[in-house]
Amino acid sequence: MSGPGSQAKVTYVTLAGNEEANAAYDAAVARVGESLGAAHPNWIDGRQAGERPRFDDVSPIDTSRLVGRFPRATPADVAAAIAGARAAQPAWAARPWRERVAILRAGAEAISSRMTELAALMSIEVGKNRLEAMGDAEEAADLLRYYAAQVEEADGFERPLARLLPGEDTRSVLRPYGVFAVVAPFNFPAALAAGMAAGALVAGNTVVFKPSSDAALTGLRLYEILTGAGLPPGVLQFVTGHGSDLGDAFLDDRLDGIVFTGSKRVGLDLHKRFASRWPKPVIVEMGGKNPAIVTRSADLQKAAEGVARSAFGYGGQKCSACSRAFVAREVYDAFLEKLTAVASGLPIGDPTRRPVYLGPVISKKAKDTHAAAVAEARRDGRIVFEGSVPADPDLARGHFVAPVVADRLPDGHRLWRDELFVPFLAVAPVGSLDEALARANDTEYGLTAGIFSEDEDEVRTFFDRIEAGVAYANRRTGATTGAWPGVQSFCGWKASGSTGKGGCGPWYVQQFLREQSRTIVR
């Protein structure tokens, strides 16, 4: 059903009709559901850390449902984890790279073997529907495989260089920095956490891993899988918690790098404050305000499906979600009609149920963000489409909202600028492709973008001029979403990223290494 060579790998676009996978997921939901609610520890140096006050990790589907209870780690806990990671790092770096690769590959196989269990947990813990959750789990496994393959294909990142004198031998060797902090988000709690940690680990660094407090149990399961695959004690540390004090603890000078996915505000703060003594890697992905362009030559049904899927998939809670659409004036009304038809057919409800497309948003804060955006759009523009949450008392216990499409918002309105992370799409008519591109690029972000056009020259112009690291044309399965390891590099430009090299892409692992030139004269 999954894993290398499988004919039925489950990705974000390949679950439909896979009855075996759907049945396995349904069984896993029941099984996982019975195991929730326990108290869990932090893990430092392979041992359970001391007792701490705990926070409740609850399901956004039903906030009375306890997923688990986790420690509120203190700055002292983070310091202990960093110290342990530093102590473990020399031996891990000295381990032959083929052994590190083998351990990461074993972890990938373990993730694939537990794919439906992890997916069921993510559906309950963060509200993903089965398609999104199963894709998330399998992407985590493929990221481990892909980053292991990068080291293998580069022969451990060691290569001979030229010589100036007879008897001189020089080689370039990429070596690990030391200890990385990995701070993961809630929205891809397996894939992003696994990918960031794997890039650091396979390169020979050790990792202090903090999952999102909204996805702490998924983070713990990932920790258990990777350590069970053979990571030595101390190589991967696990701490949970939240708050500014804990965040500041990750500015520790003993960390050699940090990798973070989350808001622009936090990412820029890390970029400014992390390296106080000398420059260090700060690998941050900070979201997007991602546009789709629909030209007059577009297949409008394809465009409506692609935009709706990207705007409303997982409630718009993706860095790559489509939140702006610029549509040729000649086809504007026809496009809105088709978009409304697609959006109105997206079932809302418990995401563990097979027909459901749109589950809850992650928190009350997100629900309030959605309500505020709708109110502003109604006041300052026009609501083109507003779905409705079914009148089900069970849904009243969760953070459910409906998809919304708005237009006639003034240029410069904050709903064109701010990343909302909710199912809200702003649309506008444009007079030309030039105007569409100018408006698409008029943002501080530059993560993903898409175009729908049957004109090859328009598509070529789009790719040449769009200011985004991930660009798609005519993608029915997602106008701006759906990157996969080794298929689409996920690279943020401008305020969307810090390094110009993306996850899922061929240059990711090198970011966790630094070059050393070695010359021997014989």
| Alpha-carbon span 137 to 154, nearest angstrom | 27
Instruction: Say which residues have a Cβ less than 8 Å from residue 322's Cβ, sequence separation at least 6.
Output: 290, 291, 292, 307, 310, 311, 425, 448, 450, 479, 480, 481
| Alpha-carbon span 29 to 520, nearest angstrom | 59
Q: Any bridge partners for residue 406, and if so which? A: 383, 426
- Phi and psi based region of residue 163 (left: phi greater than 0; alpha: psi -120 to 50; beta: remaining): beta
Q: Please identify every residue annotated as catalytic.
A: 285, 319
Report how far Cα 128 is from the mean position of its chain's Cα atoms: 13
**Is 197:182 a contact under the CB 8 Å cutoff?**
yes
Instruction: Give the chain's length.
Output: 522
Going by C-alpha positions, the residue among 399, 342, 405, 346 that lies closest to residue 373 is 405
Classify strands 322-328 and 257-261 as parallel, antiparallel or unpaired.
Answer: unpaired
**Is 291:481 a contact under the CB 8 Å cutoff?**
no
| Alpha-carbon span 459 to 516, nearest angstrom | 42
Going by C-alpha positions, the residue among 121, 145, 142, 144 that lies closest to residue 132 is 121
